[in-house]
Amino acid sequence: MKVLKQIYINNISFYILIGLIVLSVFGNYFSIVYTIAVILFYFFTAAIFIDLLMLFTNKTGITSKRIVPEKLSNGDKNTISIEIKNNYGIYISIKIIDEIPIIFQKRNFEINSKIKSGETKLFKYNLTPKERGEYNFGITNIYAKASIGLFSKRYKLNHNQTAKVYPSFIQMRKYELLAITHNKTSLGIKRTRRIGNRTEFEQIKEYVKGDDFRTINWRATARKNQLMVNQYQEEKAQEIYNIIDLSRTMKMPFNQMRLIDYAINTSLVLSNTSLIKEDKAGIITFSNTIHSIKKAERRNLTMKNILELLYKENTNFNEADFEKLYITIKRNITQRSLLFLYTNFEGFTSLKRQINILRKINKSHLLVVVFFENYEISNIARQKASTIEDIYISTTAETNIFEKNKIVKELRKYGILSILTKPENITVNTINKYLEIKDSGLI
């Protein structure tokens, strides 16, 4: 019975078999047709026997190993590999149907190929998860077919594997490499120059175009007979906090990813960038209560601890309590720090309820409010209206855009920095703002 469960009749075999049965039944009326049918029947029976013999004499004709990374990166392409070895003494065709996690909803996933005898072949495919958490892979179903091709033998391999999807560490590594090489423009990160002096003198160097004229060292210039400037060290070991709102407003999805995941991915990248710049990185998450606090530090395990902390965080259906956030900041962050607050104000009224608390936070620290532009609404506003319903929808969309810009102006009025960004551009825009603040000496 076990062998029978592994046998799969291919379509062509089924049609040939039905045709031969029909010819055999009705061929009695035509002796020549009957003779041909009998010959073909015996030939087909022999082919069946040979095909089954080639497929089932080797119990381990196919061996396979699915290679899944221990950690998958959220929002990025992750490569999954299936290594297959042909232990048959013949050339075979295979069809691979891998049971990928249900969340991807890929119901037509299939790989077809051919493998020589004794050959080991590696097959790769990409998965792009949109949520953090555990992803369960099922069985790798491999259908092997010999050269005759009448039947296929099914192999059920690689039973149940689990991989965890973490915040985007692939994106983090990409920006880390750029931060080290200083080649940031390829990802849209702007080159900025210092516009203020640092308190700690580093060296005297030759003037290059773009250096601040106020740093010219006239004595050194006179001695060298060419322009020389003082170079100052960038201030380091400053505390950089990523504060993430986990309330219901961050549940909104864009491009199948929630706003919370965009914020978490950016927090991971910014934390790593700040550590490379020799600053300290910390995390605060909150909604109606404070979920987690990680004091800003710069140690060997800092990024690992931040990654594990962000992996577990999730949104809820509660309203954000900014007053509790203010109290937590006041108690736990004692020195002036740079705070990036990731939230989402959908309307001007929602900002007005929190503006006094944000002003209090900004008095003791440098606060940057990062919130999201709804680009789908922007697209609607740009569409030409032809009916009364279209006019109503377009007007509503334009009102939303106006409110978002009004929020930016209101924050600016009270000296609070802000970033209004499309979700897909949040990382680049936030890194740019961090570098701009560092180079301008605001913190």
Please give the chain's pLDDT, 443 residues, in tens. 444 445 555 555 555 566 656 655 555 555 666 666 667 666 777 777 777 888 888 888 999 999 999 999 999 999 999 999 999 988 899 999 999 999 998 878 899 999 999 999 999 999 999 999 999 999 999 999 888 777 888 999 988 899 999 999 999 988 876 665 555 554 555 555 544 444 556 678 888 877 777 788 888 888 888 888 887 655 668 999 999 999 999 998 888 899 999 999 999 999 999 999 889 999 999 999 999 999 999 998 999 999 999 999 999 989 999 999 999 999 999 999 999 999 998 889 999 999 999 999 999 999 999 999 876 666 665 667 677 766 666 766 677 778 889 999 999 999 999 999 999 999 999 999 998 898 887 77
Cα→Cα distances 241→221, 295, 299, 429, Å: 42, 8, 15, 16
The DSSP bridge pattern shows strands 71-73 and 161-166 to be: parallel
Every domain range in the chain assigned CATH 3.40.50.410: 169-193+235-440
Nearest to 270 by CA among 258, 282, 253: 282
Query: What is the C-alpha to C-alpha distance for residues 413 and 362, in angstroms, rounded to an integer?
Result: 12
Nearest to 338 by CA among 369, 317, 383: 369
Q: Are 345 and 247 in contact (CB under 8 A)?
A: no
Identify the pLDDT of residue 99.
Answer: 92
**What tokens does 206 get?**
């030759």
Query: What is the C-alpha to C-alpha distance for residues 271 and 243, in angstroms, rounded to an integer?
Result: 11
Q: Which CATH superfamily is domain 169-193+235-440 in?
A: von Willebrand factor, type A domain (3.40.50.410)
Every domain range in the chain assigned CATH 2.60.40.10: 62-166
Query: What is the C-alpha to C-alpha distance for residues 76 and 129, in angstroms, rounded to an integer?
Result: 7
Query: What is the C-alpha to C-alpha distance for residues 17 and 13, in angstroms, rounded to an integer?
Result: 6
CATH class of 62-166: mainly beta
Sign of CA dihedral 384, 390, 396, 397: negative
In this prediction the pTM is 0.78
Q: CA geometry: angle at 299 spanning 296 and 303, to 5°?
A: 75
Burial 52-78 (b: 16+ CB within 10 A, else e): bebbeeeeebbebebebeebbbbbbeb
Residues sharing a CB contact under 8 Å with residue 13, sequence separation 6 or more, in sequence order? 48, 149, 150, 151
